[in-house]
Structure 1
């Protein structure tokens, strides 16, 4: 779900166009790249459109890609204290409208998968193909409640500890072993992250429930689960796929942040789905 570090994330080789607009008391920012069929990417808790998706961009070189940041992240400034899934959906749709996107393919990661699920349910006429990565139907189970409460608490009281927890539970052992100076990574995360935004997003994770949205999703859907996920129960991907009519379930043999650790593996699955 998280923005691990400028040291870790893959950098896009192109310079994105950055746009901002006013929307319902907030300033919403998004990145736009390329040309071709439109695709919209929704990041996860504590991430943003760059941190979560830069590594995926080479797989989408033939597409017009929109990467909005929702409340609490990146380019967007929204002082709203208690976030709702509907507010984030409205901000993402607002970005699509501002960019002139009519219909589009939609990719959501983690909390962004919940946003994407509700968006696809509320606006079936807009979404052609849907990809949900490391998503979950609800944050109500006991382990998720423990985790998201802990994240929110640490985001407000001990960002250094939360940065370390993100790394330990978000990435694989081998990946972390290959980074080198982990202390520099932690320092970078502490200095560069929006911790108030992470706290507010974590509190939203506690309240997420898209169980009532699954039956309304009409887009052709691919659900990608992370087999060794320590942040979100891999069984949550099975629940998403089972709840959406016709959805296909695929697996990445990696951790929750496989999208950032091995973006090529995730990208190959997405390309296959979008080509159908």
Structure 2
């Protein structure tokens, strides 16, 4: 039934389906221009995985052993025609530090930058846990965000840092903006990546996992996500992931039911105590009006986030 409820695959895309470590069935649509990368992704997602190898590295070893020298030379010529020229020393140096930029709304128009360090030993589990901790640390500074806000999707953005001390950023382009293919400041594979590098719904699903929920030996999504070779500096432009939040309507609904129950109790108590049904009804109406106004103001304020 869940598969029937999924949207149809758009023309020019191919769908991959797999099961998450938590048992949930997931899917992602990839542009056909990714070519062999789609096969490598599918094979990696259906295999146990290895934390020391990304999608491109882990899936290529076996095929490389089976290729003849002539086949390898032909493939190198094909890849040289497809991939933009970048600094190969940069791409091959696994010891270079890299940082994944995470942008979090902290109230009103303000958005702040968090940087998650990525190393050769990083796995999906460690990276998403680090991003979750950074996100919660920023979000929990707002009282209502702890219970009444939840992440719903992500946007891949270009941003500019305008306050380096507080790491405030302004969004320049959205929602599917990634570094240029020939950028030497960012690491990501494949270089001909068609955004988004990771489907937003899959990103949110991984982000919601807790410690120990994901296989620590998997490294399926680190390669496609753009990572800056050095930390961002004041005034510079960058590319990152902006977490979009919306009200947690389940919690809001429970709160609304609780307010209604209290409102009914107050109305009945006033009417019985003072034999004044009209006065009790008026107080109940006043309570509902105040709650509705406050809820509306709060929801409206989220529009700036």
Please give the TM-score of this superposition, normalised by the length of structure 2: 0.24
**Structure possessing the higher radius of gyration over alpha carbons:** 2
Task: Give TM-score, length-normalised by structure 1.
Answer: 0.26
